[in-house]
Amino acid sequence: MRDLVSRSLLLAGFVMVTFANQAMWVTFAPVASQVAAKLQVEVRWVGFLPVLYPVVFLLLSIPAGKLADMDAVKWVMIAGVLTAIGATVRFAGFNLFVLYFSQFLAAVAQPLILNGFVPLTKLYSQEKRSVVLTTMSVSMYSGIAFSLLAGVPVYSTFGITGLILPAAVLSVIGLVVLICAHRFLSTGPATPSSVNTGFGSVVCRPFVMVFGCILGLGVGTFDNLSTWLEPALSSTNFSHHAGQIMGIAISAGVIGVGVISPAVARYRWHIGYLKFVLVFVLLSMVLLTVYPKLVVFYILIITSSVLMFPAYPLIMEMVAERFLQGGLAAGAVGMVSRVVTVTLTLLASAYIGDASLFFRFLSIPLLAGVALITLWNDTII
């Protein structure tokens, strides 16, 4: 009974810290111009704050994964400390140095958090693994969605304090809950179905490369839409709808994770579902190149989000089943994913002058993703 309570507290604390950490990632993104004016700096300096996350993740993903395999609870708690300090130190003074310092602490915490997903699931029974991963993934996406959707109205009503308060409160409460859970927790991790040991045997596995690329292509598509949709739609007469489209799409994607992931996991349809999703998103991007109507943008981008977002917990569940060093494997998949995502986002900047050209560009890597998942032999890891 004590372990059941402790593991429930562990998940609750982890969810709060994850939400807070992800919310910190894009806290100022919706109001970058206003924040820059308040700081009396160029807007690009505020815009660079979110860039710290993927840069630090690329550098620390593999080491963070190895640390999570050694003692997931300990390093998640350290990530909680870093997130809580980063979130609360922003109250010390609103200037560029404080913002970058707090963002750096949270960016260091992120790979410890995300690569802790798989190792932490081994504290729970295999039957609960899908539900636990789904809950973690919902908190991950919800933090981002909250900041993007609430940023403008919260800043307009409560100013800077209103923007930074939610992450600070949740991160501190989450850390306290994690400490309480750790004090009484005893562990007995389950053994995965397939064992791989050693750095090379994990990072260089075909599974890691293929599904890292697939995850990167999916995430990269939506990173590009979030980053470049407004300027890409400047060739149309509805570019001002870009923010609303993506806000609704991300929120709908969170719902998709909560509803679709457990259902797919229950029927063991992971590979088939990923094939279906990649084909659907590819066809959506192709259709948007030839039929750029506002209602079509809303329908296809929102539906694509609902279907694509569950890919993350489903891929992480496959990692948990195939690798003993789940943290290292998750870190490797995440690193490959981020390389693909960052590359696509940088390349896409050359194609944002025309909506049709932009969506044509997005369809090319998705076609590669369809080919990868179609050729994949599930007996290979």
Q: pLDDT tens for residues 203-216?
A: 678 888 999 999 99
2 pLDDT more than 70: no
Separation in Å, CA 1 to CA 72, 132, 140, 337: 22, 18, 28, 39
Q: How confident is the model at residue 381 (pLDDT cuts 50, 70, 90)?
A: low
Return d(Cα 339, Cα 341) in angstroms, integer. Answer: 6
Residue 46: the pLDDT is 86
Return d(Cα 323, Cα 361) in angstroms, integer. Answer: 34
Return d(Cα 52, Cα 36) in angstroms, integer. Answer: 17
**19: Cα separation from own chain's centroid:** 11
* pLDDT average, residue stretch 85-112: 94
Tokens of 326: 């789940």
Query: In sequence order, which ranges of the chain are alpha helices (DSSP H)?
Result: 2-25, 32-39, 43-47, 52-70, 72-89, 96-114, 117-121, 129-184, 199-203, 206-232, 242-266, 270-290, 294-308, 311-322, 326-348, 355-375
Task: Report the predicted TM-score, pTM, of the whole model to 2 decimal places.
Answer: 0.81
Return d(Cα 149, Cα 50) in angstroms, integer. Answer: 16
- What dihedral do alpha carbons 62, 226, 142, 167 form, nearest 10°? 80
Minimal CA–CA distance to 49: which of 141, 147, 146?
A: 147
Residue 17: the pLDDT is 97
Q: How confident is the model at residue 34 (pLDDT cuts 50, 70, 90)?
A: confident
